[in-house]
Amino acid sequence: MNVRRVTIKDVAEKANVSKSAVSFAYNDPSKLSEATVEHIMQTAEEMGYVRSATARALRTNSSNALGLLLPQGIDTILQNPYYSLLIQGIGQVCQSEGYTLMLVPPLRGSMLKAIPTAAVSGFIICGLEAERAEVVEILNKHVPVVIVDPAQSINVPTVEVDDEHDFEDLVDRLIDLGHRNIGIAAIETKSHTDYPRWQGIVGRRMASVVRALKKHNLSPEDKEITVIETPCTYQGGADVFNKMWNDTNLEYRPTAIVSFSDIIALGVLGAAQQQGLRVPEDLSITGYDDLPLSTICTPRLTTVHQPITSKGRLAAESLIEQIRFDEGALPVSHKKLGTALIVRESVGAAPLNK
């Protein structure tokens, strides 16, 4: 059951005062007695009424803004073209429906500090684990919310992709091509260093890798398999290549590197070519996302396509539907989009001398 957002009317009825009195308590308390203000405030707190910039926007419905809650600073986020495509989809809906979009990064390193300052009508959350304190904070305040790529099943609207089989097939293809020394360039989680505890998209992609390896009697624990977390940036990919190629025993240098995003894969590709390697003759490289850049690099990137812009568009449509449905009793929707394995020239047979 979806929890209805607490409104100024609810507080007024519970406190047995007028809606105007509640408004005065927050905006002009001098017009009320001290006892009345204290009574209203105590009632509001007990009911979980939101006392923030977000609350004012929700009460008046005047912000006409959607908030995109980001896991990192805007400067870091925009190094990954994934977010440009996601924002493009959200922006298409904002433009057609008369909304603006506010990017909400951590404030002084904290999402909890950023949330109350965002005067928005609701949040699209991406790149966060569902049990993180900042997400719980929003849900407890009954603010309209949609989670993109949730970490686990959760009783709020979600939009995600069903990619397990395609990513597993990608690793299968590498192993069928003779690759046994495989590097895994995973998106940095910052929550758990041991991969079995990874959650969300990183956890799901790693689970697909594990299943593919297991079918061939391989495991991430094998010395031939190297797993490294890295920021989801071009430089993060370059750093992973340098660690795997230069800091690993020669016998176990990877013949293939599986990247959890295209931007990481492009960083791997650039660093490999800078070191004089031929792709895919010396090293096969794969990505995930199917960014436009993956079709114009040389060689073109083998990857898993996900409909990023459509994901943003569906998330925005779902959020606006909630905002406009005053009673908050809409059925909780969980939307899943398909993916596709795209095979291009960055993958080839394992070198015989490895």
Specify whether 280 is located in the same domain as 228: yes
Choose between 46 and 90: higher pLDDT.
90
* Whether residues 21 and 123 fall in one domain: no
Shared domain for 139 and 170, answered yes or no, is no
Whether 272 is covered by a domain: the verdict is yes
Is residue 16 domain-shared with residue 127, that is, in the same domain? no
- 182 with 302, same domain? yes
208, 230, 231: which is closest to 220 by C-alpha? 208
Least confident of 196-200, 207-211, 288-292: 196-200
Mean pLDDT of the 107-134 span: 75
172 and 46 share a domain?
A: no
Q: Is residue 59 part of a domain?
A: no
pLDDT in tens, 152-174: 777 788 999 988 899 999 999 99
Averaged pLDDT, 189-212: 83
Domain membership of residue 180 (yes or no) is yes
Domains held by the chain: number: 3
Taking residues 335-344, report their average pLDDT: 94
Does residue 297 sit in the same domain as residue 329? no
Residue 175 lies in a domain: yes
- Give the per-residue pLDDT at 250: 53
Same domain, 115 and 243: no
Q: Please state the rounded mean pLDDT for residues 110-125.
A: 80
Q: Is residue 275 part of a domain?
A: yes
**CATH number of 32's domain:** 1.10.260
The CATH number that applies at residue 119 is 3.40.50.2300
The verdict on residue 146 lying in a domain is yes
- Tens of pLDDT, residues 90-108: 999 999 999 999 998 887 7
Residue 107, in any domain of the structure = yes
In a domain, 349, yes or no: no
pLDDT higher than threshold 60 for residue 61? no
CA 254, 256, 257, 261: dihedral to nearest 10 degrees?
180
pLDDT at residue 351 tops 70: yes
- Asked if residue 298 and residue 173 are part of one domain, the reply reads yes
Q: Does residue 184 sit in the same domain as residue 289?
A: yes
Question: Do residues 279 and 208 both lie within one domain?
Answer: yes
- The whole domain housing 26 covers 8-51
Q: Do 270 and 172 sit in the same domain of this protein?
A: yes
Query: In this prediction, what percent of the chain has a pLDDT beyond 90?
Result: 53
